[in-house]
Amino acid sequence: MDKRYINFIIITILFLIGYSLLISKLYPPQKQPVSISPVSKSTTPSSVKPKPLIKEKPPGIQEITKDIETDNFIITFSLTGGYIKNIHIKAYKENLIFHNIGYTPKLYSQQFTLTLPQQNTVVLESRDRSIKKIWEFKGYYVTLTIINNKPPLVMDLFLNSLSSNRLDQRYQEVFYQKNASSVIKRTAQAKLKPQKNIPLQLIGARDRYFCVVFFQNDSPVTLIRKDKKVNTYVSIDKPETVWNFYAGPQLRRELAKQKLGNIINYGFFNFIGVLILKVLYGLKYVTHSWGLSLILLSVIIYIILFPFTMKSTQAMKKMQQIQPLIQELQKKYKDNPQKLQKEQMLLFKKYKINPVGGCLPMFFQFPVFIALYQVLFRFIELKGAQFLWIKDLSLPDHAFKLPFSLPYIGNYFNILPLFIIIVSYLQQKITTSEGNSQQQSTAMIFMLVIGVIFYHFPSCLVMYWFIQNILTVLYQYKIHKLPEPLV
């Protein structure tokens, strides 16, 4: 067997082992989410059991909870302290990571009674009737009215726990805005530092798909505390009478009702991300399918970026055509690297070839790819959306379940990454010079690396990349079918 192919096999095995170990660190085993069934408003015991949190409450206090169902939520109220312990979103069958909304540490042992004066309204009142909290739910928006006959006490707006999954941590951030004319300041939760005395217009936090934001409260002081770098407490030392907040999915149409759409951000290339999002919404309006919309979006982006693709492909073709000349120079000056480099540059100059011409156009496409990645990875409308055999476009395609579990692959087999490997193989057969075993080995390694990296990616991103590769291969096949002589 050729020594190059032996090296190729060894490098590939080492890469797969290393990548598998890295993924096991980034994707620690996750507990299955608790399945919550709708409960009656008259239910007394709690059926919603969120994961244990580091609490401010001292041990020895027996907590009493009660579940209440509204139009959009199943909410676990703690009658011991009078606050929202957990929110379950019915439409997405998920618990929010934002807990302990309205919790007052000094009232940890105070018992509250719960009444339902009308639909989507919950009243919590302390037994001595000195404190009353009225919760009004209007869709994903909530108004909390506090009637307090005691001196003001520090109250937590919410508690946010840092995810144990390092990749999910990338999407967790705390944000706030000092006034309506100022920009929204954002800080990754893992890097957030404790602070106080922040005048604010709004404050909140978000993860990959959901957010909580308190707005238009005119609160003079906000405290941000951290517990062992895991839990972030956003608190107020002098709570106002009325609090307005949003808790739910990052849907622009929902957040726009209170002019909160700007809290959704796609990073440095946010303006490109917003434009892509508008195009995707428009396509969905026509096709009524997120899957078809993604395919059409891939075609549209390919057409827009085609001039760069064309220049890149033409540059690579010219490099391929002069490969015999380069190989002759390599044989002739194999003992003189400096002379070889000089002769190669003269060869490039003679045939008007830029050595990096095949890569340079990618720099112009890079902002689009980054913005698209951010949009599709956080686009909650794709959560639960089906297309062909794909049950959820926000997850890997999970074509079929295996009767056993394999390292890295798991117990589901994903087909889309395999399609990408096949297309990449066709691409390297078209573009790689015959007899250039080193170039072929490099292409094969790159092909497998792409397949492995994309294996656990959401199917929406994999499908976009697959369509882009199909279009690129078709174009490359066309221009390589009849080679043109160099002039």
Q: Is residue 165 part of a domain?
A: yes
The total number of structural domains that make up the chain? 2
3-class state of residue 17 by DSSP: helix
Secondary structure (DSSP) of 157-170: EEEEEPPSSHHHHT
Domain stops at, among 237, 265, 293: 265
Which of 192, 203, 196 minimizes the C-alpha distance to 229?
192
pLDDT score recorded for residue 433: 55
CA distance 16 to 377: 24
Query: What 8-state DSSP symbol labels residue 203?
Result: E
SS3 70: coil
Same domain, 182 and 285: no
Last residue of a domain, one of 265, 282, 298: 265
Q: What burial class does residue 337 get, using C-beta atoms within 10 Å of its C-beta: 0-12 exposed, 13-18 middle, 19+ buried?
A: exposed
Cα 85 to Cα 76: distance, rounded to the nearest angstrom: 5
Pairing of strands 223-227, 185-188: unpaired
Same domain, 165 and 259: yes
Residues 326 and 440 reside in one and the same domain: yes
Alpha-carbon span 327 to 355, nearest angstrom:
15
The answer on 239 and 312 residing in a single domain is no
Q: Are residues 312 and 441 in the same domain?
A: yes
Same domain assignment for residues 288 and 323: yes
> Is 98 in contact with 87 (CB distance < 8 Å)?
yes
* Residues 16 and 87 placed together within one structural domain of the fold: no
- Is there a domain that residue 45 lies in? no
Tens of pLDDT along the chain (487 residues) come to 445 544 544 555 555 455 555 544 544 444 433 333 333 333 333 333 444 444 455 555 678 889 999 989 999 999 988 899 999 999 888 899 999 998 888 888 888 999 998 888 999 988 888 888 999 999 999 999 888 877 777 888 888 888 877 778 888 888 888 877 788 888 888 888 887 777 777 889 999 899 999 887 655 667 888 777 788 888 887 766 788 899 999 998 899 888 888 888 888 888 888 899 999 999 999 999 999 999 999 999 888 888 877 777 777 777 777 777 777 777 777 777 777 777 778 777 777 776 665 565 566 677 888 888 888 888 888 888 888 898 888 888 888 887 777 777 777 888 888 888 888 778 777 766 554 555 566 666 777 777 777 788 888 888 888 898 888 888 877 776 655 555 4
Give the strand pairing for 121-126 and 185-188: unpaired
Give domain status of residue 51, yes or no: no
Please indicate, yes or no, if residue 97 is contained in any of the structural domains.
yes
Is residue 35 included in any domain, yes or no?
Answer: no
Domain assignment present for 79: yes
Same domain, 370 and 452: yes
**Any domain includes 446:** yes
Q: What is the CA radius of gyration of the chain?
A: 29
- Domain boundary residue, one of 234, 265, 296: 265
Q: Are both 260 and 280 inside the same structural domain?
A: no
Residue 13 within any structural domain of the chain: yes
Residues 118, 254, single domain; the answer is: yes
- Proportion of the chain in helix, strand, coil states, percent, rounded to 5: 40, 25, 35
Do 92 and 384 contact (CB within 8 A), yes or no?
yes
Q: Which of 46, 93, 90 is nearest to 71 (CA)?
A: 90
**CATH code of 123's domain:** 2.70.98.90
pLDDT value for 436: 53
Instruction: Report the run of H or E that residue 458 belongs to, with start and end.
Output: none
Residue 210: what pLDDT?
93
Helix boundaries (H) for 359-458: 360-378, 416-431, 437-454
Same domain, 137 and 194: yes
Give the pLDDT confidence score for residue 42 in this predicted structure: 36
pTM of the predicted protein model:
0.75
Q: Do 205 and 97 fall into the same domain?
A: yes
Residue 133, domain extent: 65-265
